Structure 1
Amino acid sequence: MKGSLIIVGFFIAGTLCGVCLLIPADFITDSRISFYALCALMFCVGISIGNDPQTLKNFRSLNPRLVFLPVMTILGTLAGSAAVNLILTHRSLTDCLAVGSGFGYYSLSSIFITEYKGAELGTIALLANISREILTLLAAPLLAHWFGKLAPISAGGATSMDTTLPIITRTSGQQFVVVSIFHGFIVDFSVPFLVTLFCSL
């Protein structure tokens, strides 16, 4: 929750800087700041994955059937994003799918989408994916009670391996930690590929 509030705080601070013209608009639009930030972010993601060899070892002990959990999370999220397009008719299907493809990974997906589609859709992606994380943090106990122990993991999307992992552990049980990390790893890995795919269509 604290990480989400920090991201929202930076977003609000950036918005205020833009409104008050504290940073020249030409400096942002004409530079490659978002590209360099994206490269740095991808480098940090690679370090975090490569720095934890225990994660790869834990994957070997998983039930092979659980490989379908991240696949169903991805397909379900994309189906929901396509359904939203029926309501938001002013947005293209690919825009809705690109936003949904963030799977809660707001920092990476919003930078990608801003780079490809502009700041407006990037902001929508940021808010949509932050909302997914916050709703998972708040509703995990209800999801586990109503839909089963795997529901909070699926709802967490890419965040099930980091920010929502503690609440998933508390609500679903310690035995689902490896499943949650595996799920988050696979969904997390799919984000840059799917977001760039839908942004380029």
Structure 2
Amino acid sequence: MYSSLLMILGALIVGYVIPVKHPAILASVRRLSSWMLYLILFLMGYGLAFIENLGQNIVQLFSQAATLVGLLLVFNLSALFFVGRYLAMPKAEPQHRKSNSKLAMFKEPLVLIALLVVGLLAGISYQQTLPAQSVLAEYALIILIFCIGIELRSAGISLRQLVLNRRGLIIALVVVASSLPAGAITAYLFELPINIGLAMSSGFGWYSLSGALLSKATTPLIGSTAFFADLSRELITLLLIPSLMQRSPAATIGYAGATAMDFSLPMLQRAGGNQLVPAAIASGFILSLLCPVMILLLVNLA
């Protein structure tokens, strides 16, 4: 059990300590990361087809995901609004730029959902497990984590710089602290082990990683629940940023979770201005580092 944990964390650390600056190599790493993610999601969907009482469990999956999303929304925003009053965040100064196409923003999440569905349909049709399916999923996950480590290092910001960003660090810690009760309540309501509930709440919006990790460490059902919960968080973030930023920059950055340093960053910058970018990058980066560590440690508490 712990050998897989050490192997995956080791892949993250090894990837992070490798300095890659050449644009062509970084582009290749990102492509490899995407292909590994596509493979993992296909296998996750394929594995769902072999769950007993599939129809009933699919309903449970979406019920768990919806409950977790709702609880995270309430707990995260309540805590972030409260703490944000004392952080003296810079005032939001919207930058009037041409907005990106909404369809383009939702393209990648839709593609990933489609891969999960294709895998499910393939499993239902084929009705046989794939040769070396679990081994293939494990190696794909290790490669994905290794690539993520390289991509995090390529951000060009030292851990010292991030930790010294007081606002970003506090926002990230508040997100972590307010997410865990949501996971615990979800576990209680659906009679899941509490460590699994806590792990499901530790994706911080990074749906591509949380789903893959939990599917490998537990079951495709739990992994898919985390995937849809964190995917929903990202979509809600896109809808909330324009209006929420005016009320509480800290809540907006915090609820964006791990995506505050990449996917959500352009929208956060447009809605709040350049003065909020350092805190967003710091918060998103810290949550990105904590996500795989917390999920793996929590899963292995049992």
**Corresponding position: 1:169 with 2:274:** no
Q: Which residue of 2 aligns with 1:2?
A: 107
Give yes or no for contact 2:163–2:282 (8 Å, CA) kept in 1.
Answer: no
Q: Which residue of 1 aligns with 2:145?
A: 42
Opposite residue 127 of structure 1, the aligned amino acid is: F
**Corresponding position: 1:193 with 2:293:** yes
Q: Which residue of 2 aligns with 1:68?
A: 170
Give yes or no for contact 1:62–1:178 (8 Å, CA) kept in 2.
Answer: no
Shift of 1:101: 0.7
Give yes or no for contact 1:140–1:171 (8 Å, CA) kept in 2.
Answer: yes
- The SS at the match of 1:25 is coil
Pick one of 103, 108, 122 that aligns with 1:17. Answer: 122
Pick one of 113, 135, 138 that aligns with 2:239. Answer: 138
**Range moving further from structure 2, 166-175 or 122-131:** 166-175
- The SS at the match of 1:104 is coil
After superposition, what is the alpha-carbon deviation per residue over 1:63-118, rounded to whole angstroms, capped at 9, x for unaligned? 434421111111111122223334x2322222211111111111222121111211
Structure 1 segment 80-159 matched on structure 2, within 5 A: 80-86=182-188, 88-146=189-247, 148-159=248-259
From the superposition, tell whether residues 62 and 167 of structure 1 become closer, same or farther in structure 2 (CA, over 3 Å): farther
From the superposition, tell whether residues 58 and 174 of structure 1 become closer, same or farther in structure 2 (CA, over 3 Å): farther
Task: Give the Cα separation in 2 of the matches to 1:181 and 1:66.
Answer: 7
Task: Give the Cα separation in 2 of the matches to 1:189 and 1:66.
Answer: 14
Q: Which residue of 1 aligns with 2:136?
A: 33
CA RMSD of aligned residues (A): 2.3
Opposite residue 20 of structure 1, the aligned amino acid is: S
Task: Give the Cα separation in 2 of the matches to 1:185 and 1:197.
Answer: 19
- Of structures 1 and 2, the one scoring higher in RCO (CA 8 A, sep 6+) is 2
Opposite residue 290 of structure 2, the aligned amino acid is: S
After superposition, what is the alpha-carbon deviation per residue over 1:159-182, rounded to whole angstroms, capped at 9, x for unaligned? 111111112112222211121111
Give yes or no for contact 2:168–2:281 (8 Å, CA) kept in 1.
Answer: no
Number of residue equivalences: 196
TM-score by length of 1: 0.87
From the superposition, tell whether residues 38 and 73 of structure 1 become closer, same or farther in structure 2 (CA, over 3 Å): same
- The SS at the match of 1:102 is coil
Task: Give the Cα separation in 2 of the matches to 1:49 and 1:193.
Answer: 14
From the superposition, tell whether residues 34 and 145 of structure 1 become closer, same or farther in structure 2 (CA, over 3 Å): same
Give yes or no for contact 1:109–1:126 (8 Å, CA) kept in 2.
Answer: yes
Q: Answer with 1 or 2: which has the greater Rg.
A: 2
- The SS at the match of 1:32 is helix
**Range moving further from structure 2, 12-21 or 126-135:** 12-21
From the superposition, tell whether residues 139 and 28 of structure 1 become closer, same or farther in structure 2 (CA, over 3 Å): farther
From the superposition, tell whether residues 178 and 65 of structure 1 become closer, same or farther in structure 2 (CA, over 3 Å): closer
- The SS at the match of 1:20 is helix
TM-score by length of 2: 0.60
Any unmatched runs of 5+ in structure 1?
none
From the superposition, tell whether residues 58 and 168 of structure 1 become closer, same or farther in structure 2 (CA, over 3 Å): farther
